[in-house]
Amino acid sequence: MIITIKIGMSIFALLSILLFGGCSLLEKKEENPYVRVQDYTGKEFRLANGDKNDKIAEANREKVISGTEAFFLEKYKTKVKVNNIVGNKDGATVYVESIGEPHFHTFVVIPIDTQENVRPEGIWTQEGEVEGDIESGIYALIHEEKLNKLNNYLNEFIKKHPVVGRREETFKNTSSTGYTTPYYYIINFGDSLNSYRDQYLRNPETKKEVYHKQSQSLTFNPEDYRIVIELFMKEENKEPDQKIFDELEADIEKMDGLPPGLYTVILNDNYIQKENGHSQKDNTLMRGIPDYIIKK
């Protein structure tokens, strides 16, 4: 994939702003740009210089949706659901998720010309982005049992500590991070799953049991996969708790039976920036690049 680092969903939001907005500053500034993570759905998410095209795209919503759905069916043999349409400098960024398995979140860009015409025939996406997100979904199918162990652990951790994950609407509306849950997401960087992706493109109905059986002879290089775990403090005006973070980090480090990859662990305070989806701040606690937790 062309993006070499995706530490958090907020980082992807920033890259999106740089890529499609022309600068890292949003057009509008609010007195209080933050919102509780429990309240944030991503509907406030904006890209720089995109207000005009946002209105044009919304006025042509059905055209944007039908064009996006047709693009994914033709190029990727994938049925998708359009979750959010956000104007950018040259058109609109369309955030989608696949319907069925493998499950993944990704995006495309639909151009809008100077005559304010929406041009679905010109839909494009960042090189390797959708392919990598498909592979992330396949990776999750292959490692379903191991991911269930991580899911069960995180569900119990949330019950025992005053922390939360993101609302499902948040990552549906703002993220293109492949296989994504409220607590973590998976980014694929290597090419070990290229043949599995190609098989999917030939036959999208391939069952997960087939992928799992074929993967038995595959050696997974941890360097090829990033599993980013990101949680938030449950209460407002609470700094990220060092003891909670230390426990989460230690548990992940000592846990056996997790999928192979490089793990990042992040604990934020309770707030997300409304318009750009940023969550990481000066007070964020994080273990990641270059000191990942490595699982083989």
d(C-alpha 94, C-alpha 256), whole Å: 38
Residues 117 and 137 reside in one and the same domain: no
Residues 201 and 247 reside in one and the same domain: yes
Residues 284 and 140 reside in one and the same domain: yes
Choose one of 97, 125, 153: the last residue of a domain.
125
Q: Has residue 42 been placed in a domain?
A: no
Q: Fill in the amino acid letter for 196.
A: Y
pTM of the full predicted structure? 0.88
Q: Has residue 160 been placed in a domain?
A: yes
d(C-alpha 127, C-alpha 62), whole Å: 26
Choose one of 69, 100, 125: the last residue of a domain.
125
Q: Has residue 33 been placed in a domain?
A: no
Q: Has residue 40 been placed in a domain?
A: no
Residues facing residue 261 across a β-bridge: 295
Give every CB contact of residue 236 below 8 A, 6+ residues apart in sequence: 36, 270, 271
Residues 264 and 138 reside in one and the same domain: yes
CA distances from 130 to 69, 78, 107, 234 (A): 14, 11, 7, 33
Q: Which domain holds residue 286?
A: 133-295
61: number of Cβ within 10 Å: 13
Provide the CA 210 distance to its chain's centre, in angstroms. Answer: 26
Task: State the angle between helix axes of 144-160 and 129-142 in degrees (0 to 180), rounded to the nearest 10.
Answer: 90
Residues 154 and 96 reside in one and the same domain: no
8 Å CB contact between 259 and 225:
yes
d(C-alpha 195, C-alpha 172), whole Å: 27
Residues 192 and 109 reside in one and the same domain: no
d(C-alpha 3, C-alpha 112), whole Å: 24
Residues 168 and 219 reside in one and the same domain: yes
Residues 114 and 161 reside in one and the same domain: no
Q: Has residue 288 been placed in a domain?
A: yes
In what helix (H) or strand (E) does residue 195 lie, and over which residues does it extend?
Answer: helix 194-202
Residues 151 and 236 reside in one and the same domain: yes
Residues 272 and 169 reside in one and the same domain: yes
Q: What is the pLDDT along the chain (296 residues), one digit of tens a residue?
A: 333 334 444 444 444 443 444 433 444 454 789 999 999 999 999 998 999 999 999 999 999 999 999 999 999 999 999 999 999 999 999 999 999 999 999 999 999 999 999 999 999 999 999 999 999 999 999 999 999 999 999 999 999 999 999 999 999 999 999 999 999 999 999 899 999 999 999 999 999 999 999 999 899 999 999 999 999 999 999 999 999 999 999 999 999 999 999 999 999 999 999 999 999 999 999 999 999 999 99
Q: What pairing do the DSSP bridges indicate for beta strands 225-233 and 261-268?
A: parallel
8 Å CB contact between 268 and 280:
yes
Q: Fill in the amino acid letter for 240.
A: P
Choose one of 107, 125, 143: the last residue of a domain.
125
d(C-alpha 252, C-alpha 190), whole Å: 23
Q: Has residue 233 been placed in a domain?
A: yes
Per-residue HEC secondary structure of 159-180 comes to: HHCCEECCCHHHHHHHCCCEEE
CA distances from 180 to 155, 234, 239, 279 (A): 15, 20, 25, 16
Q: Has residue 235 been placed in a domain?
A: yes
Residues 151 and 251 reside in one and the same domain: yes
Residues 154 and 280 reside in one and the same domain: yes
Number of domains in the chain: 2
Q: Has residue 290 been placed in a domain?
A: yes
